[in-house]
Amino acid sequence: MPSTSPNPSDDARRPSLSFWFDPASTYAYLSAMRIEDLAAAAQVRVVVKPFLLGPIFQSQGWDTSPFNIYPAKGRYMVRDVERVAKSRGVTFAMPKTFPAHSVAAARAVIVADENGRGLAMACALFDAQFARGQDISDPATLSACARRVGLSSDDVLDAIAMDRIKRLLRTQTDAAAAAGIFGAPTFVTDDGEVFWGDDRLEMAFTWALTCARRPSEPETL
């Protein structure tokens, strides 16, 4: 999305908040639908960090989402996301397949981000999946989302097949695991503080601002 900053150099000086998500995550959908407004209000820059939960779950001995492995937790999650989405005026319905096979979608966000449309692409994919019931592993969905955010669908589909993009996603997933990330969404501030879950988004923004002020604003001022 276009920066609201009058000067591009202002944007680079802002504190940032890294938004780590797997495109198949229901709670990351809730965050994606509100993070741009919160970031604008806080004057914090969002850094988009798509990664895959699959390898992280596998390292914990899980072959699918914990919401599938533990049915009571899975049923609760659907009800909880329904309630929160409704309270925010956000449409939500579980897609037929959960979790979606999100490798291509995560790569597509990386490609879009190289063109300044990372968050917009993430939002388009989340909306397709959780508001419109579409399959984000389907090239037709990826193409429609790319066009929706002003990118060439051919260029995006070509790019997600490239080794360079595949490697970037693998590297980012490894970095997530190394940072102690075990679920999505996760938010990380410039000083490395980790916040897990849509419920911590406000606290993460507050932290992002506070840690940014520390070096230049001693407590005695």
Residue ranges in contact with a second copy by CB under 8 A: 60, 70, 72-73, 75-76, 79-80, 83, 87, 180-183, 194-197, 199-200, 203
| Beta carbon of residue 76, minimum distance to a second copy (angstroms, whole number) | 6
Which residue number, 116 or 197, has a Cβ lying nearer to a second copy?
Answer: 197
| Beta carbon of residue 163, minimum distance to a second copy (angstroms, whole number) | 29
In this structure, what are the phi and psi dihedrals at residue 36, rounded to the nearest 5 degrees?
Answer: -65, -45
Which residue number, 131 or 194, has a Cβ lying nearer to a second copy?
Answer: 194
Q: Which of 89, 68, 52, 64 is nearest to 174 (CA)?
A: 52
Which residue number, 111 or 201, has a Cβ lying nearer to a second copy?
Answer: 201
- Which strands, in side-by-side order, build the sheet including 194-196? 45-50, 16-21, 186-189, 194-196
28 alpha-carbon distance from chain centroid = 6
| Beta carbon of residue 160, minimum distance to a second copy (angstroms, whole number) | 29
Which residue number, 75 or 132, has a Cβ lying nearer to a second copy?
Answer: 75
| Beta carbon of residue 113, minimum distance to a second copy (angstroms, whole number) | 26
Q: Cβ neighbours of residue 106 under 8 Å, at least 6 residues apart?
A: 22, 23, 50, 51, 52, 169
C-alpha to C-alpha distance for 65 and 169, rounded to whole angstroms: 19
Number of C-beta neighbours around residue 34 at 10 A: 14
Which residue number, 154 or 199, has a Cβ lying nearer to a second copy?
Answer: 199
Q: Cβ neighbours of residue 201 under 8 Å, at least 6 residues apart?
A: 31, 34, 35, 38, 185, 187, 195
| Beta carbon of residue 77, minimum distance to a second copy (angstroms, whole number) | 9
